[in-house]
Chains A and B, each alone.
Chain A
Amino acid sequence: MSSELEREIGHDEFDPVGTLGLITIYFLILVVLWIFMYFVEFAGGDLTVVGVVV
């Protein structure tokens, strides 16, 4: 493995910006899906549970 390494990056030089970017995108997807869920569950018609029980 180590033969493929081009450079050594120590703790202080490493700034995981790409990770921050990916996690932010993931978080946005979650938020969008969460909002989408509202339409699937509620806006589509009856409230699933209340509508059935009452």
Chain B
Amino acid sequence: MSTESGTFLDQFPAEAKVVRTAFYSSFVALFVGALMGILQVLHRTDVLRIVDSADYYSLLTLHAVLLVLSFSVFFLVGIFTWAVTTSLDRGLQDLRYTWAWYGLMALGTLLAGIAVLGAFIPGLDMSAAVLYTFYAPLQAHPFYYLGLALFIVGTWLAGLDWFRSWWAWKKDNPDERIPLPTFMALTTTLFWILSSAGVAVSVLAFLLPWSLGIIDQVNALLTRTLFWYFGHAVVYFWLMPAYLLWYTMLPKISGGKLFSDPLARVVFVLFLILSTPTGIHHQYLDPGIAEGFKFIAMVNTMFLLLPSLLTAFTVVASMEHGARQRGGSGLFGWLRALPWRDPVFTGMALAGLMFAAAGFSGMINAGMNINYLVHNTWWVVGHFHLTVGTAVALTFMAATYWFLPQLTGKAIWSKSLGLVQVLVWFVGMTFMSNSMHRQGLIGVPRRTAEPQYSGFDYEVAVGSMAELNMQVIIGGTLLFISTLLFLTVVVMTVIGDKVDGLPDNGYADTLSGPEDAPLVLDNLKLWAGIAALLVILAYSLPLAAIITRGGILGPGGSPSPQFVDTLLFVGRVAADTVGGVIA
């Protein structure tokens, strides 16, 4: 596959430096984010409150922004850069350009971080306690919005970098199929640009000018809807690189091959098409959006079950293939033949298991009526600590034990400690997330510094509130310890000496290769077009209704049942169209 074998560092030293730097940035964010995480746990449960409860929301904002934007996204641009470079077997087109997008992302993180931390500097009139969703009328310092915008533009330029590599490669290899890892990076880039354009408009056209004082007010529902236009797709932006690792690394580490390259392509195409027109499922409880639009979002969401189940099947089948090649047998006996002592394998497998559990809470969230039961409770926080907080985060940590030697030429300092680390994360998250789900069911709210109310007790059906809180404390502490273990292994590895005899760079072969995949799957223009069309179908009417009713800069709104407005609006559009056609 490669002109020159060896580690990624041997093959592409300059690109390895980029990926390494992206990873280190991601780990710094992980450390600060996890520190905020444990502080939140202790604050909410009233074990230790080192900040004023009013400042809790600054910690929470920092936690979320650093973990879901900086930690996840810095890591994933590293993975995609590795994936494209390795699978096309060619360096990036222009490294100055590459460093430029990295620089934008770093600057963006710094600005947003400063805006949040400014709240703790006495005398400085700066804060951004707007939480990760930054709903108006909560307002942040302009640095926060500017930072987010720069960060996102940085990721777009990164996506373009991967496209440039592919375009150049295609010139030299006109008749070849897009290698699978590159295909995954490109399809992800496409829906990421399509979806994050929404949040970019929200920030640049409304929130930033508003926080600079150029405009007086914004239409809160409009900015919120634009946020969620990106807010569901972004979860797939985090998840697709984890999928990439599950599809292209996990089979190899299990000792086998990827079950099916065509299925993998189908899955990524489905995510490209479906990830954006679903965002309204986060707004089931928002007044001002008609039920019908929410229903459409729900149906689109249910379609997403398809690629998720396809993934479960393909990934597990690939592991089974590996286990049987290693001598495993029996209906389930092969599970024992898997390399459970390898932290890379075990971390990713446990991450996948947690993701399966999250599938259930996700189904509850996705149902329009059942969602009312859990909306804005701690259930939701329990859910996404299983998805982004474990399926993605633990996969990334586990993958680090494979990538770090590839990027530094050094051996992992202690693989056994790595194994302990991934296990501790799994156990910690089991406690924390389980309790968060259960607390949510009895109505404990999320985003609350002091969820204790005088004259009111939660009705806990099984167990007690003290027991539930104890689980969160134990879980949160284990998670924090696991993070420290992870960073210890990383630092000790990086300061170690270079060694020889590291495994070669590469990824899994396939049982059924691209030659079995219909050519149309590689037609990225077609899929991007369909994705855009679905977005227009799902969003043009809701957005038009929100703007006509509330004004582009709001505020406004009518107390009438919203579906009446929408019916009238749809009627008017239909009448105009018919009129236009006749005239």
- B325 close to A (CB within 8 Å): yes
Q: Decide if B364 touches A37 in the complex (CB within 8 Å).
A: yes
Q: Decide if B511 touches A11 in the complex (CB within 8 Å).
A: yes
* Residues of chain B from 234 to 277 with CB closer than 8 A to chain A in the complex: 252-253, 255-256, 259
Q: Decide if A26 touches B255 in the complex (CB within 8 Å).
A: no
Q: Decide if B332 touches A21 in the complex (CB within 8 Å).
A: yes
> How far is it, in angstroms, between the C-alpha of A6 and the C-alpha of B369 when the chains are bound?
52
Q: Decide if A9 touches B324 in the complex (CB within 8 Å).
A: yes
CB distance from B492 to the nearest CB of A (A): 24
- B573 close to A (CB within 8 Å): no
* Residues of chain A contacted by B294 (CB below 8 angstroms): none
Q: Decide if A18 touches B331 in the complex (CB within 8 Å).
A: yes
Interface string of B367-383 (1 = CB under 8 A from A): 00110110000000000
- A-B contacts, 10 of them at CB < 8 A, read A1-B252, A5-B325, A7-B325, A9-B321, A14-B511, A16-B259, A18-B331, A21-B332, A22-B332, A29-B360
Chain B contacts to A: CB under 8 angstroms = 252-253, 255-256, 259, 309, 312-313, 316-317, 320-321, 323-327, 330-332, 334-335, 339, 356, 359-360, 363-364, 369-370, 372-373, 441, 461, 503, 511-512
Chain A contacts to B: CB under 8 angstroms = 1-2, 4-11, 14, 16-19, 21-23, 26, 29-30, 33-34, 37, 40-41, 44, 48-49
Q: A7-B327, A26-B312 are in contact. Are A18 and B359 (CB under 8 A)?
A: no
Top 6 A-B pairs ranked by shortest CB distance?
A6-B327, A16-B317, A19-B317, A49-B372, A19-B316, A11-B511
Q: A14-B511, A22-B316, A41-B370 are in contact. Are A9 and B325 (CB under 8 A)?
A: yes
Other-chain residue from B321, B323, B327, B331 in contact with A21 (beta carbon distance below 8 A): B331
Q: A30-B359, A41-B370 are in contact. Are A23 and B316 (CB under 8 A)?
A: yes
Q: Decide if A1 touches B332 in the complex (CB within 8 Å).
A: no
Instruction: Identify whether the interface residues of B are mostly helix, strand, loop, or mixed.
Output: helix
CB distance from B314 to the nearest CB of A (A): 9
Q: A18-B331, A21-B332, A41-B373 are in contact. List 4 more A-B contacts (CB 8 A).
A: A9-B325, A14-B511, A16-B321, A19-B316
> How far is it, in angstroms, between the C-alpha of A8 and the C-alpha of B322 when the chains are bound?
9
Q: Decide if A14 touches B360 in the complex (CB within 8 Å).
A: no
Other-chain residue from B252, B323, B363, B441 in contact with A30 (beta carbon distance below 8 A): B363
Q: Decide if A5 touches B360 in the complex (CB within 8 Å).
A: no
Q: Decide if A48 touches B321 in the complex (CB within 8 Å).
A: no
* Residues of chain B contacted by A29 (CB below 8 angstroms): 360
Q: Decide if A17 touches B331 in the complex (CB within 8 Å).
A: yes
Other-chain residue from B255, B259, B312, B372 in contact with A48 (beta carbon distance below 8 A): B372
Other-chain residue from A4, A19, A30 in contact with B255 (beta carbon distance below 8 A): A4
Q: Decide if B360 touches A30 in the complex (CB within 8 Å).
A: yes
CB distance from B363 to the nearest CB of A (A): 7
> How far is it, in angstroms, between the C-alpha of A52 and the C-alpha of B360 when the chains are bound?
26
* Residues of chain A contacted by B259 (CB below 8 angstroms): 16
Q: A9-B325, A41-B373 are in contact. Are A1 and B255 (CB under 8 A)?
A: yes
> How far is it, in angstroms, between the C-alpha of A44 and the C-alpha of B373 when the chains are bound?
13
CB distance from A37 to the nearest CB of B (A): 7
> How far is it, in angstroms, between the C-alpha of A40 and the C-alpha of B374 when the chains are bound?
12
Other-chain residue from B253, B320, B363 in contact with A16 (beta carbon distance below 8 A): B320
Which residue of chain B lies nearest to A34 when distances are taken between CB atoms in the complex?
B363
CB distance from A20 to the nearest CB of B (A): 8
Q: Decide if A5 touches B321 in the complex (CB within 8 Å).
A: no
